[in-house]
Chains A and B, each alone.
Chain A
């Protein structure tokens, strides 16, 4: 590839950006949308931007959505760019999702999970019919959520704790004096990837890409036969140890979506058969993403056990292509000037055609 410095186009670019700003605003007879309105009323767009932008800040994500005219991968790019301007104070203690103040928790595998099936604010079971009353300029009376007499009790038992005494479900392990987890923002992708590196990459990964990969595995390209053991949505506290204190303090709360997928594992000579698990965790309410992430995590665990046969089980394929900022950058760079590449290709094609014509002419001559 050749690069050549070319000047020019400044004026065209400035004018293009002015037009962009005008288009962003749209019809000025319609009131301008406020960042706070986006934050409050397009909250699932905010959740996706925070999740894949890998930066939890609802106001920032709302601003990014506004600036990007609702183009979420563009908003994610803006968020990623902003985060590089901030200093990092350090890393939190691992959040304890078992302690979550749950707003939604369902288990599709185990009907009688302790704490019950709590639907929370969900699109599930809606009829997916357009509701034209929402187009009635906010005149629709809103029926508030119903509040039960008795509050949901916390913490809610996890699927892992329910079956732990029987060893039916693979247990999480904690390594004493575990090294610092892999950090993709500081170190380049490395293979074979540890599960820490994989989960960080998947948590930042593109929802559409992970959804399609998860779907491919369900349809037989690396079959995982997953069951959804648990999905939970709610708030957890984030604890951090400031240098000046030396003990952990809570610095805020984040909304998280967590998904536990389980599938049957055949075990081995020294290991009895049990359910193995895939894990998904995202900022905000990103259920489709968390479920896809858990299925892909599970499929990649097969890969590390040497069973890889499908795209979803190929960790280099999955992890190198899951980031939509990188993917979109590389695909979209093709629209920037490639004049020199094209010149070179033209010369090559012209030479090949000349040689081809000479060969054809020579063959004709020989035949005559």
Chain B
């Protein structure tokens, strides 16, 4: 996407924000609480529940139309070291959004990043890959194997 070219660090940040948003709230909270040390932060935007209007494409690939809304919670925090992070996560879990924002801020700090890169981001990503893979293997098990019945005429 064109915007990535102009926003420095965008592709990487997109990746971890996606992982934080798509993980189940309980996994995000568990990963956060499992950290040995959690930096202090202050809320720039207290967690707020709202909605995003989800759009589809007419015919699947055409122009946009409005499908319906989804609940989303957003938050923004600033670490004492100055980094700001944001969280936009589906659903209504305030804690999830706030933790996502804190981890986003930590991932932008070279000092704090190692603490969360493996223990939060990689761990959540693994969970998502496993769930995705399990579903894909269950789907593959329900794939139809067609066989053609051959009609033969017995001689005589």
Q: Could you list which residues of chain A lie within 8 angstroms of chain B, going by C-beta atoms?
A: 50-51, 54-57, 59-60, 83, 86-98, 101-104, 111, 116-121, 145-154, 158, 160, 171-175, 178, 181-185, 195-197, 199-200, 203-204, 237-238, 240, 242, 244-254, 256, 258, 260, 277, 279, 281, 283
B38 within 8 A of A: no
Q: Are the C-beta atoms of B63 and A238 separated by less than 8 Å? A: no
Q: Are the C-beta atoms of A196 and B51 separated by less than 8 Å? A: no
B49 within 8 A of A: yes
Contact residues on B (Cβ < 8 Å of other chain), bracket: 35 or more
- Give chain B interface residues in 3-43, CB to chain A under 8 Å: 3-4, 7, 10, 13-14, 17-18, 21-22
9 pairs of A and B residues whose beta carbons are closest in the complex? A252-B90, A172-B62, A151-B136, A148-B140, A172-B61, A56-B70, A250-B18, A54-B68, A147-B137
User: How many Å lie between the Cα of A61 and that of B132 in the bound state?
Assistant: 24
Residues of A close to B89: CB separation below 8 A:
251-252
Expressed in whole angstroms, the minimum distance between the Cβ of A104 and any Cβ of chain B is 7
Given contacts A89-B72, A249-B88, 19 further A-B contacts (CB under 8 A): A50-B68, A97-B57, A118-B140, A146-B138, A160-B60, A172-B57, A185-B66, A196-B63, A196-B64, A200-B66, A203-B56, A247-B1, A249-B18, A250-B14, A250-B17, A250-B18, A251-B90, A258-B60, A260-B60
Return the chain A residue nearest B2 by Cβ.
A247
Expressed in whole angstroms, the minimum distance between the Cβ of A155 and any Cβ of chain B is 12
Expressed in whole angstroms, the minimum distance between the Cβ of A149 and any Cβ of chain B is 8
User: How many Å lie between the Cα of A146 and that of B132 in the bound state?
Assistant: 15
Residues of A close to B137: CB separation below 8 A:
147-152
Once A150-B140, A152-B139, A199-B56 are accepted as A-B contacts, the answer to whether A55 and B68 lie under 8 Å apart by CB is: yes
A-B contact count (CB 8 A): 245
User: How many Å lie between the Cα of A148 and that of B134 in the bound state?
Assistant: 9
Q: Are the C-beta atoms of B55 and A283 separated by less than 8 Å? A: no
Once A154-B136, A181-B63, A250-B14 are accepted as A-B contacts, the answer to whether A51 and B7 lie under 8 Å apart by CB is: no
Q: Are the C-beta atoms of B22 and A250 separated by less than 8 Å? A: yes
User: How many Å lie between the Cα of A252 and that of B19 in the bound state?
Assistant: 9
Q: Are the C-beta atoms of B141 and A146 separated by less than 8 Å? A: yes
Q: Are the C-beta atoms of B92 and A116 separated by less than 8 Å? A: no
Once A160-B61, A253-B90 are accepted as A-B contacts, the answer to whether A89 and B52 lie under 8 Å apart by CB is: yes
B58 within 8 A of A: yes
Return the chain B residue nearest A53 by Cβ.
B68
* 15 pairs of residues in contact across A and B, judged by CB atoms under 8 Å: A56-B54, A89-B52, A90-B53, A98-B61, A119-B143, A147-B137, A150-B140, A151-B133, A151-B136, A153-B136, A199-B58, A249-B17, A250-B14, A252-B91, A260-B59
Q: Out of B58, B86, B138, B140, which one reaches A172, CB within 8 Å? A: B58
